Structure 1
């Protein structure tokens, strides 16, 4: 695992497609904890979160030859966990009845209807990203949304690695500051900034 830590996801995916277990392990250790935390934002069930992550990585291994290294592997993983959790919730929905809910739960669910939807929150975060200074915005998007590392961005933008890391730091700091003023965005902060 140690030597592969410096490799970008796309390089690891090429190795994974050829059956390289070390590349698979590196990708697993790189993303498992983050995916687990993300799945807990849907349902606070540690065992279910572990199942979701395990199932997603089993599918990654089984379908490794079909993976597209030109697309963001990180985005693929988070989408897969999201769909796993949505499917789990959908499948359990038929087992629930209103008779099983307490009055407190019903009141809480009515309050949740007033909250912003995931897509609205994501839109708000994207608006904040768009308000960043030009270079910070570009660097942040390449790093956090496209999964590129500092070396790759530095090469693409013809800047030093240290400058890129500084822009990532400044952008993250600015976004965290803005997002912390809006408590309804706590889950989206977790997803969009730290992954």
Structure 2
């Protein structure tokens, strides 16, 4: 349960908090609470909704206590109802989780180059210097990683374009 939902819940929490460390703290707290109250979560089919609701509520509580609520103070947010916007956040978090899982499956060097290029946004020469390889090797690893990810994530292209990920 933890390994399956952790990353997507972190993406989801980060949408609220815009702070990845705080998002990870919230998700850790939620899993601790779920672990302590396992008998309450008797239906696995409702587990996903339960986890997302708990993370959302923890994030909103954190925002309130940090006095950042002025960004979020609307009548809709005060009532904390599930709406289309909430569904979009969940879908985005799940898509990002799947993308990150696919990146983790890449061959080691291709994964390193891909992360440094697209997640850390280093230039090819910087990557080559950091990994002690040629710029042509960096280009080859990037091309290989993109090709693998394109094939593996083809089923997500429509969602990625809809949500502008």
TM-score range, shorter chain: 0.3 to 0.5
TM-score, normalization: structure 2?
0.45
